[in-house]
Amino acid sequence: MLTEIGSKVIKKRNFTQSHPLCNKEEFIHQSEFINQYQSSFKKILPVKFCWEGWKERLLKSKVMRTRIIYLLLVVFVLLTQKLSAQDDETLKFKVEQLESKKQTVTQIEREALKNEVEIINSRLEAGEISKETAQELKKEAAEKRAKNIENKLAIIENTIALLKRKGEVDLNTNTNNIEIGFGSDDPEGDVLFGVKYNSGNQKKVAYDRRTYGDPNIAFGLNNAIIDGQSINDSPYKIGGSRFFEVGWAWNTRVFKNTNILRLHYGVSLQFNGLKPEGNRYFVMNDGQAVLQEFTFDLDKSKLRMDNLVFPIHFEFGPSKLKENEDNFRYSISNQFRFGIGGYGGLNLGTRQKLKYKIDGDKVKDKLKRDYNTSNLIYGLSAYAGFDSVLLYVKYDLNPIFQDASVEQHNVSLGLRFDLN
């Protein structure tokens, strides 16, 4: 009876499934144990049936855990050694970089001395200074450069010693900063217009900077010169016809030791507008653009031509030489200058804008047509003024309209501002 109860209890618990660590042989062995010792069955808990299986697997898990710990220790030791080797390589690389800077410092100072001597010689040849003064200036320049080399090499040697002692050192003493200015000189001798961000990692300032790039804008009056007519007989409003130009230009010093001649070149967008006199607008008649009376009273009639051009000028004028310890600059601030040259480019598009009223309702028409305007744009231009404010004039050599019976050439007069 007890055996049947024991068998039912074991089957009901589905012991072999509830305890996967017990295998089939262990289960049969424990069943025979129950039949032999029926009186003690109630004292035996099912979990004890699998004790041998649990014991064996616990021992195996301990061994596995020990192996994993040993493996992790080995990996940790290897990584530590590798990181230590990398630190040594990094330190060695930094030291080598500093050692190479010694030669760079010497080379830069010698090149700077050479440029200074050339400037002194050019001043001597121009008669600005005497021979004795030139010799004195050369001696002072040589002593200054020699002292610079000595001090900079000492700094590098001390940095190397500190690097070997500490393992690392910040070689950059500059800090992040933002400068805001309008027409004021920044620490590098450049005229600042707008916002400038210094990250603290700027490259070394060039000893001699011959090219500068700055934006520029121009605006003023626009009109047309027609063959056989004076500007007073122009069919376009003198005050109402205007132009606007915006671009970027570079200024390069032509000669090495003087800034008397500069090459001014860049790229610009031109917007040339013509407003006809009277109540007229442009229409196409037999392939030609002609002026014609409009049916309604016009509040505005304007033809606009948009051009992309590449101007180039020879610029003349005096400048001031500013010499610093590590560089020199020619400044044209508050100096008179004038330039003469030309431009060439493409017509991007032509459009006509009309404003009028019909029965009291306002109407705006924007007509984008070809109007047979010239596709290639080329002409002459010149400017003159002080500092960055210049009087500006330009004249298109190409006719406004192609195949016109009477040629018209666009002409503009206004102000130009170099935003340097």
pLDDT in tens, 124-133: 888 888 888 8
- For residue 409, tell me if it sits in a domain: yes
Q: Report yes or no on 40 lying in a domain.
A: no
- pLDDT, position 179: 52
Q: 414 and 298, same structural domain?
A: yes
Amino acid sitting at position 400: I
For 132-174, what is each residue's pLDDT tens digit? Answer: 888 888 888 888 888 888 888 888 888 878 777 765 555 444 4
Residues 202-223 pLDDT 10s: 555 676 788 889 999 999 999 9
Q: Within this chain, do residues 272 and 387 fall inside the same structural domain, yes or no?
A: yes
pLDDT band at 59; cut points 50, 70, 90: low
213 and 162 assigned to the same domain: no
Least confident of 13-17, 303-307, 341-345, 408-412: 13-17
Query: At residue 81, does pLDDT exceed 70?
Result: no
Structure-token pair, residue 145? 């450069």
My answer on whether 134 and 274 are in the same domain is: no
Q: Which of residues 108, 134, 166 is at a domain's end?
A: 166
Where a domain ends, among 140, 166, 192? Answer: 166
Indicate the pLDDT class of residue 57, thresholds 50, 70 and 90.
low
- How far from chain centre, in Å, is Cα 65? 56
Element (H, E) at 170: none
- Which residues are registered as beta bridge partners of 417? 217, 389
Q: Is residue 382 part of a domain?
A: yes
In a domain, 148, yes or no: yes
Domains held by the chain: number:
2
Same domain, 240 and 384: yes
Backbone CA torsion sign across 34, 39, 40, 43: positive
Same domain, 147 and 235: no
Residue 364 lies in a domain: yes
- Considering the chain, what percentage of its residues have pLDDT values greater than 70? 72
Residue 28, in any domain of the structure: no
Specify whether 351 is located in the same domain as 261.
yes
Q: Which of 136, 166, 196 is the last residue of a domain?
A: 166
Residues 155 and 247 in one domain: no
45 belongs to a structural domain? no
- 343 within some domain: yes
What is the model's pTM? 0.57
Q: Are residues 234 and 123 in the same domain?
A: no
User: Are residues 373 and 251 part of one domain?
Assistant: yes
Mean pLDDT, to the nearest integer, of 268-293?
91
Q: Does 281 lie in the same domain as 139?
A: no
Q: What domain range includes position 283?
A: 207-418
Cβ atoms of residues 418 and 388 within 8 Å: yes
Average pLDDT, the chain: 78
Q: Which distant-in-sequence residues (6+ apart) come within 8 Å of 58 by Cβ?
A: none
The pLDDT of residue 241 is 94
Query: Does 350 lie in the same domain as 217?
Result: yes
Task: Say how many CA atoms lie within 13 Å of 244 toward its Cβ.
Answer: 2
